[in-house]
Amino acid sequence: MLNTVDRFIKKRLTPLEQKVEEEDEVPDDVIAEMREMGLFGLTIPQEYGGFELDLMQEMKVQMAFSETSPAFRLVFWPNVGIGSRGIVMFGTEEQKRRYLPRMATGELPTSFCLTEPGTGSDAASITTSARRDGDHYVINGAKRFITNATRAGVLTVMARTDPSEKGPKGITAFIIERGTLGLIVGKKEKKMGQRGSPICDVTFENLRIPAENIVGGPQNEGKGFKIAMSVLDGGRVSVAASAVGMAKRLIDEAARYALQRVQFGEPIANFQLIQAMLADSETDYLASHALTMRAAEALERGEDARTLAAAAKYFSSEALGRIADRAVQIHGGSGYVADYPVERLYRDARGVRIYEGTSQILQLVIARAMLKRYEN
C-alpha cells in the first residue's frame, strides 16, 4: 500500500500542488481516484468495508501523505480519523452498519463538530444545546472552523443535553446527516495556509434528531465529552504524524536547495552554519518521528495514552515550526517568494500548532498528568 500511495503522491498529487493552492480546491477527479483507491476506509474495520489498518500502519500512511499539500490528505482523512473514530469506538452495531460502509467508500465524507465561536481551548464550555422532546432532541447553536463540513455527508456533533451542567458532564455526541432540516453549512473561510481544505461554520436551527442518533445510543447521553476527548487522542497522534511528514518535505526542499545554491563560489551546503540548521532540522525530525510512533504504539495497545498523544502533537508541531522557519532561512530571499514551495509549506505548517489542541493546552494536559503521578 505504501508503494502505491507513494507513487500516487509523487506522480499525481505533487504536480497539482500549485493548482490547488491557487484554486483553493482539490479537483473532483482526484477525489474520485482517492475513493477508488479505498483511501477513505483505511482504518474502518474490514467487516464494514475498510482496510482496518492498525495505528502504526495508519501513521506511516499519514506521514507519506503529509509530504504533499495537506489539502489532498484532508479530503479523506476525516473518514480515517476523527469523523469515523467515534462510531468505530463507541457506536452501536446499528450505527456501524448504517454509516461505516459508506464512510469507507467515501460516499459519506465526515466532519467532527466540537469547536464553537465561544468554545475553543475550553472544550467543555460548549453552548450548542440539545433539548429533549419525547424521543427526539432539538438542537440549536453554532460550530466554528469545521474541517470538511462543506463536503460532509455525516457530522459528529457535540451538544449540551443538560443545561444545568456547565462543564463536561452535560455534553452528548450526536450523529447528524446532511440534509436534515435545520442544518446550515456556512461559507468556507479564507485561511493563511492549507488551501484547498475547506473549514466553515455549521449552524443548527431547531434541528430535530432521534435519540437513537446519540453515538452509542441513548444510554450514552452525557458521555459526549469523554467520547470527544478519546477521539482527539487518536487525532492528536495523527496530527503529530502529519507534522512529521510535513517536516520531511521541508527538509528535502532545504537540503536540495542548499546543495544547488552557489554563493562565495561554492554550494551553500558546504558552509557550517547552513549544516547546523540542517542538522537541527534532521534531529527535530527524528525525535518527532520516534515520539509519534511511541504514542501510536501505546494507543494501539489500548493504554491511556493521553499524555503521550499530547506530547507527540506538542513536540512534533513545534519542531515542524522550527524546521519550516529554517527551511525558509536556508532559501534566503527565494524562500520568501511564492516561486519556491517552502513559502507555501511554511504557511501550511503554521496551523499545526493550533488545531486539535494548541501547544499551550497540550502543555497543560502533560503537566496535569505528571503532577498527578507525583502527588500519588
List residues binding ligand COS (CB under 6 A): 112, 114-115, 121-124, 168, 225-226, 229-230, 232-233, 306, 355-357, 361, 365
Cell triple for residue 47?
A: 467487516
Nearest distance in Å: CB 227, ligand COS: 8
353: phi then psi, degrees, rounded to nearest 5: -80, -5
Rounded Cα distance, 128 and 123, in Å: 12
From residue 29, give the alpha-carbon distance in Å to each of 9, 13, 16, 32: 14, 12, 12, 5
From residue 278, give the alpha-carbon distance in Å to each of 71, 246, 284, 312, 346: 27, 15, 10, 22, 16
Length of the chain: 376
- CA geometry: angle at 37 spanning 35 and 38, to 5°? 65
Nearest distance in Å: CB 366, ligand COS: 10
* Residue 86 or 335 with smaller CB distance to ligand COS: 86
Nearest distance in Å: CB 184, ligand COS: 20
Q: Contact 174/159 with Cβ under 8 angstroms?
A: yes
* Residue 148 or 281 with smaller CB distance to ligand COS: 148
Nearest distance in Å: CB 123, ligand COS: 3
Nearest distance in Å: CB 364, ligand COS: 6
Rounded Cα distance, 140 and 176, in Å: 13
- For 86, which DSSP code? H
356 part of the active site: yes
* Residue 246 or 328 with smaller CB distance to ligand COS: 246
Rounded Cα distance, 5 and 214, in Å: 35
* Residue 175 or 250 with smaller CB distance to ligand COS: 175
Strand bridging mode 129-133 / 183-185 = unpaired
Nearest distance in Å: CB 302, ligand COS: 12
* Residue 203 or 270 with smaller CB distance to ligand COS: 203
Nearest distance in Å: CB 144, ligand COS: 10
Cell triple for residue 376?
A: 500519588
Rounded Cα distance, 18 and 23, in Å: 9
H or E element, residue 202? strand 199-210
Of 160, 178, 180, 185, residue with least CA distance to 170: 160
Of 153, 139, 146, 68, residue with least CA distance to 109: 153
* Residue 140 or 359 with smaller CB distance to ligand COS: 359
* Residue 209 or 365 with smaller CB distance to ligand COS: 365
From residue 12, give the alpha-carbon distance in Å to each of 58, 67, 181, 226: 21, 13, 38, 39
Q: Contact 281/250 with Cβ under 8 angstroms?
A: yes
From the list 17, 21, 116, 356, the catalytic residue is: 356
Nearest distance in Å: CB 69, ligand COS: 20
Rounded Cα distance, 334 and 33, in Å: 34
* Residue 281 or 307 with smaller CB distance to ligand COS: 307
Cell triple for residue 95?
A: 450505527
Residues annotated catalytic, as ranges: 356
